[in-house]
A and B are shown apart, each in its own frame.
Chain A
Amino acid sequence: MAVGRSSRSQPNEEASTALGLLLLIVIAFAVFSWTATGFASPYNLYTLTRTAGLNVLLGLAMMVVIATGGLDLSVGATGVASAMFAGYLMQDFRFQMVIAIVAALCFGGALGFCNGFVVVFARVHSFIVTLASMSIIFGAMIVLTKAESVRDLPASFLALGKIRWFGYLSPMLIVSVAIGALIAIMLRWTDLGREILASGASSRAATLSGVRVGSRIITVHALSGMLAAAAGVMLSIRNGAMVPSMAGNLGQEWLLPAFLAPVLGGTLLSGGRAWVLTTVLAALLVTELTSGMLLMAIGEFWVQFALGSVLLLAVLLEKGRSTLMGTGEGI
């Protein structure tokens, strides 16, 4: 009995992708250090790690849904709405900061839960459901807040944004990486994560093995909502205010970073494979590229074009890789 072609066990693939990304990060770092004035300055590293913290969360928020073969367009709307919710609790109801943040996470989780619920019970693809909910959530948020920022926040909350370690490190990245570690543990070392991946790889096989695929889909949407909420809170901490437009109209500005990290990190869009480490590294790389390009003379007007190209390049590479390996895994 031939044992197929090469045995491609998942950890190896993840490690090689991670190594590749790490190499790119280092190369980019070296290149930008030489070419872009101030790239390696402590302040730039500080802001870079701060932005990376946000991008890591966004990537993870999308990754967990992609793991089941779905997607969540409403991350931006959910993130901003949840942050606004926390802001109102602190500003108008004088909630303790920690309680407000926890409440915001729950709020985001609840919004995600609704997404997942509709996806499962209306049996409609998550694309169209989250497209609609992105419009509904953002619309409702604007109507309720009259599009006004939350500006009167407790000092303890504002102080969080000023923490800076060793001069060049933002704790936001550490928090995000810690959350990433939790999700990695969840995906690899709990039955919940394993069931999520099984649901994404083959919902029929998973169902027939006794996995409640529907509730796993709801789980990841809720988790995605929570992570989006965490991203919203993190950005609010950085801004010192909750601004309704901080993720752009309908939260659309978060979509590109949210998809860039998992796709670059080798998460399969068809589901069943999701790597936290590479998603985190990919988010770092994207942040690094953005920052470097801003610093180089290329100019801020080309950043978006470049990020789009990177996304395209990533899917083309993944396609080429899976064709070469003959695995036929769809992107």
Chain B
Amino acid sequence: MAKSILRQEWLGLAVIAVLGFVVMATLRPSFLTPFNLFVLMSTFALATLIALGQMVTLAVGQLNLSLGSVGGLVAVSFAGLMDVWHWSAAPSLMAGLALGALAGALNGILIAQFELSAFIVTLATLAMFKGLNLALTKAQPFYHIDRIVSAFGNASIGGPIPAVLIPTVMATAVVAFIFYRLPIGRQILAVGGNSSASELSGISNKRAVITAHVMSGALAGLAGMVAVARLQLGQPTIGEDWLISSFAAPVIGGVALTGGHVSIVGTLLAVVIVALITQGLVLFAVDPFYVQLVLGGLILVAVGLNSLRSLLPIGYSSL
């Protein structure tokens, strides 16, 4: 029963995504040009990383307001290492991932070890990471990134498929593997689903929370570096507008806000839908600010549907 509902849940999203695609393609034939598909997929690549970064904290029943701020800090550090210290791409990438994970670990440790509210901790670190970013860069971009990175940001791997899709696909696969196959992933979901039950079964709730935040930080960092590759420069403003979209995709994709359940396919489909809407507004020359309106509305509709669904009795969990 629940399973069939679940399936319907993202079947609906899939139908919307496909419909949107078809509508766009018929109304604007140029939509299907290779370059447009390339652009669409590049957008998708970045947005997916951002959405996954928020999804992993939602999985454990928390949230990460500092996602964009971590992304921005990693982005400028990544570019800065290449620009100022002339590091090559690979070690910079590693350092960036490590920095993202470290930032996430800081969040996680503050939340789990000191039992603080995730909201207020990540609000504080949002300001701190952003402050570090500005202090490091003096708000000026780093231009001289490794040629490999700038080439990567523009490259395609066959037809309209952008190279920046590679890290996204890899990250998605890793996240899916962790949540569906690895004990630590299951522990994160168990903590999000019922933290007292997980504690009783010997799961270290603290470790699960910290791990989720480390993953979130690493994904945010990766997203920041993909943004650098796409923009071809280390902009300090990277990440400033990730907040809404980072929540929109998982929430629309059916990820439980209370934790304990992730839907990777749903989140991916939601990212596609949001990207289609953004593109559609540009294509039809609608005021781009409607994007904000539509995103906010979608979130409300999604949570509204979720709370409706939770009213339907299915088994004991509804008692």
Whether A and B are associated in the same complex: the answer reads: yes
Which residues does A use to contact B, with CB under 8 Å? 71, 118, 122-125, 127-129, 131-140, 142-143, 147, 249-250, 252, 255-256, 259, 263, 269, 299, 301-309, 311-312, 315-316, 319, 330-331
Bound Cα distance A229, B241 (Å): 23
**16 extra A-B contacts, CB within 8 A, seeds A132-B303, A315-B124:** A122-B300, A122-B303, A124-B304, A132-B300, A135-B244, A135-B299, A136-B297, A143-B287, A259-B123, A305-B127, A308-B128, A312-B125, A316-B116, A319-B114, A319-B115, A331-B117
* Distance in angstroms between the alpha carbons of A191 and B243 in the assembled complex: 38
**Pair A132/B131 contact, Cβ less than 8 Å:** no
Chain A interface helix/strand/loop/mixed = helix
Q: How far is the CA of A126 from the CA of B32 in the complex (A)?
A: 40
Interface string of B113-156 (1 = CB under 8 A from A): 01111011101111111111011001100000000000000000
Residue pair B117, A135 in contact (C-beta under 8 Å): no
Cα(A214)–Cα(B120), bound, Å: 25
User: Which of A71, A123, A134, A299 contacts B119 (CB under 8 A)?
Assistant: A71
- What B residues does A304 contact at CB under 8 A? 127-128, 130-131, 134
| Contact of B291 (CB < 8 Å), options: A139, A269, A307 | A139
Closest to B125 in A: A308
Q: Name the CB-closest residue of A to B139.
A: A301
The distance in angstroms between the C-alpha atoms of A316 and B125, with both chains bound, is 13
Known: A303-B131, A312-B110. A269 touches B296 (CB 8 A): no
Q: B1 an interface residue at 8 Å Cβ cutoff?
A: no
Chain A residue at minimal CB-CB distance from B305: A122
From A71, A139, A331, give the contact of B293 (CB < 8 A). Answer: A139
A–B Cβ pairs within 8 angstroms, 12 of them = A132-B300, A133-B300, A139-B291, A250-B244, A301-B135, A304-B134, A306-B131, A308-B131, A312-B110, A316-B116, A319-B116, A331-B116
Residues 286-313 of B, flagged 1 when their CB comes within 8 A of A and 0 if not, give 0101111111110110011011000000
Which chain B positions have C-beta within 8 A of A118?
300
Q: Are B120 and A263 interface neighbours, CB within 8 A?
A: yes
**CB atoms of A305 and B303 under 8 A apart:** no
Which residues of chain B have C-beta atoms less than 8 A from A311's C-beta?
Answer: 120, 123-124, 127
Q: Size range of the interface on B?
A: 35 or more
Q: Is B247 an interface residue (CB 8 A)?
A: yes
Are A132 and B123 neighbours in the complex by a CB distance under 8 Å? Answer: no
Q: Once the chains bind, are A143 and B303 in contact (CB under 8 Å)?
A: no
* Residue ID in chain A nearest B63 by CB atoms: A127
Of all chain A residues, the one with the shortest Cβ separation from B258 is: A125
**In the complex, are the beta carbons of B123 and A256 less than 8 A apart?**
yes
Establish whether residues A123 and B307, one from each chain, have CB atoms under 8 Å apart when the complex forms. Answer: yes
In the complex, the answer to whether B293 meets A135 with C-beta atoms within 8 Å is yes
Q: Is B257 an interface residue (CB 8 A)?
A: yes
The 4 residue pairs across chains A and B that have the minimum distance between CB atoms: A305-B131, A139-B292, A308-B127, A135-B296
- The docked-state distance in angstroms from the alpha carbon of A71 to that of B240 is 21
Complex Cα distance, B292 from A256, in Å, reads: 21
Task: Check if A312 sits within 8 Å of B128, measured CB to CB.
Answer: yes
State how many angstroms separate the Cβ of B26 from the closest Cβ of chain A.
27
Q: Which residues of A contact B294 (CB under 8 A)?
A: 139
> Given A127-B63, A147-B289, A315-B116, are A135 and B295 neighbors across the interface (CB < 8 Å)?
yes
Residues of A contacting B59 in the complex (Cβ-Cβ under 8 angstroms): none
The CA of A124 and the CA of B296, in the complex, are separated in Å by: 15
B223 located at the interface, meaning its Cβ lies under 8 Å from any Cβ of chain A in the complex: no
Q: Which residue of A lies closest to B289 (CB)?
A: A142
B17 at interface, CB cutoff 8 A: no
Query: Taking the nearest CB of chain B, how far is it from the CB of A134, in angstroms?
Result: 7
Q: Is the CB of B117 within 8 A of A136?
A: no
Q: Taking the complex as formed, is B209 at the interface, i.e. its CB lies under 8 A from any CB of chain A?
A: no
Q: Which residues of A contact B303 (CB under 8 A)?
A: 122, 124, 128-129, 132
Asked whether, in the complex, the Cβ of A131 is within 8 Å of the Cβ of B247, the reply is yes
Q: How far is the CA of A309 from the CA of B128 in the complex (A)?
A: 7
Q: Separation in Å of the B130 CB from the closest CB of chain A?
A: 6
Contact B293 A143 (CB under 8 A): yes
Q: Which residues on the B side are within 8 Å of A301 (C-beta)? A: 131, 134-135, 138-139
B251 at interface, CB cutoff 8 A: yes
**Closest CB in chain A relative to B104 CB, distance in Å:** 15
A304 to B299, CA, bound (A): 29
Q: How far is the CB of B217 from chain A (nearest CB, A)?
A: 16
Q: Assess the B138–A331 pair: CB atoms within 8 A.
A: no
Question: Does A269 lie within 8 Å of B138, measured CB to CB?
Answer: no
